[in-house]
Amino acid sequence: MSRLLSRLLLLTLLAAPPALAEDAPLPSPVRIATEGGRPPFNYVEDGKPAGFEVALAQALCAEAKLTCTIVLHQWDGIIKGLEAGEYDAIMAAMAITPKRAARIAFTRPYMRIPFAYVARRDTSLPNPGPATLRGRTIGVAAHGPQVAYLEQRVPGAEIRTFDTLADATLDLRAGRVDLVLGDKLELANFLARPEGEACCRFVGEVPAGEPLLGEGAGIGLRKGDTALRETFERALAALVADGRYDRLRATYIPFDTK
């Protein structure tokens, strides 16, 4: 080859755009971390991870024909462990937030816990909303997103904050607030106890998809693990479409979480 042709070939190679990097092959096994301390989502039973998220992870892996293992990791540092490669995914009731999404990737939500209103049984309150809640006193946990929701969506209500949702329900039973707004699962547990069942009832929910209350929980993944994210999302869509998701969920949670 002449020196001129060699130089032309070298210039052509240098000018060519770099080849697109292919997704890394899916790991085998796929290691999925959960906390093990948030029943009914995740907990430890007979020394092994259990709960809705563990059962859902197993179903997702079976649908996607992935070999998976479930590992336990304490909540503190769970994202750091993912980034360090200690495991490949997180399913630990982890809400999708902008701060977390800046560090890791998420699948679309696989679980949304609705926010619901509870009132005393003698309260007449059809369809809680901005008009019907005007002038009502509503108890909420001080550090939850419900405060911002009520301030922006229900400006006519009086908001009373408490350290915990349990404290708010104590004031509801005593008649010091008209309603309590909070996590439906926690409120369902309150209503299942004798004192809750005797005094109070659900009167409504916040409409699904309210952006001020968050997107829900997604599977956490390392940024760049696109193939694994897409694999989990296809499997989740299949479980939802044929009813397997709802059958699994009903074993652990008594209301829709899609």
Span 184-236, pLDDT tens digits: 999 999 999 999 999 999 999 998 788 888 899 999 999 999 999 999 999 99
Under the banding of pLDDT at 50, 70 and 90, the label for residue 144 is confident
pLDDT value of residue 152: 94
What is the average per-residue pLDDT within 117-132? Answer: 90
**Confidence band for 17, pLDDT divided at 50, 70 and 90:** very low
Cα–Cα distance measured from residue 136 to residue 163, given in angstroms and rounded to the nearest whole number:
20
- Contact status, residue 70 vs residue 34, Cβ threshold 8 Å: yes
Express as a percent the part of the chain with pLDDT over 70: 91
| Summary mean pLDDT of the chain | 90
Evaluate if residue 14 carries a pLDDT over 90.
no
pLDDT digits over 151-183, tens only?
999 999 999 999 999 999 999 999 999 999 999
Measured CA to CA, the distance from residue 119 to residue 202 in angstroms comes to: 6
- Short-list 166, 212, 220, CA closest to 191: 166
Quick one: pLDDT at residue 121?
Answer: 95
Look at residue 120 and tell me whether its pLDDT is greater than 50: yes
What tokens does 97 get? 């937030």
Res. 73: pLDDT tops 90: yes
Phi–psi pair at 103, nearest 5 degrees:
-100, -40
pLDDT grade for 24, boundaries at 50, 70 and 90: low
CA pair distance 219, 238, nearest whole angstrom: 16
Question: What pLDDT, on a 0 to 100 scale, did the predictor assign at position 213?
Answer: 87
**The pLDDT of residue 210:** 87
Residue type, position 194, single letter:
P
Whole-angstrom Cα distance, residue 71 to residue 23?
24
Query: Given this model, what pLDDT does residue 206 score?
Result: 93
Lowest mean pLDDT among 2-6, 22-26, 79-83, 102-106: 2-6
How many angstroms separate the CA atoms of 140 and 179, rounded?
A: 9
When pLDDT is averaged across residues 101-129 and rounded to a whole number, the result is 93
CA angle 147–149–154, rounded 5-degree value: 100
What confidence tens digit (pLDDT) does each residue in 247-258 have? Answer: 999 999 999 999
Residue 20's pLDDT band (cuts 50, 70, 90): very low
SS (HEC) of the chain = CCHHHHHHHHHHHHHCCCCCCCCCCCCCCEEEEECCEECCCEEEECCEEECHHHHHHHHHHHHHCCCEEEEECCCCCHHHHHHCCCCCEECCCCECCHHHHCCCEECCCCECCCEEEEEECCCCCCCCCCCCCCCCEEEEECCCCHHHHHHHHCCCCEEEEECCHHHHHHHHHHCCCCEEEEEHHHHHHHHHCHHHHHHEEEEEECCCCCHHHCCCECCEECCCCHHHHHHHHHHHHHHHHCCHHHHHHHHHCCCCCC
Does 97 have pLDDT greater than 60? yes
Question: Which comes out higher in pLDDT, residue 256 or 7?
Answer: 256
Bond from prior residue into 40 cis (ω within 30 degrees of 0)? yes
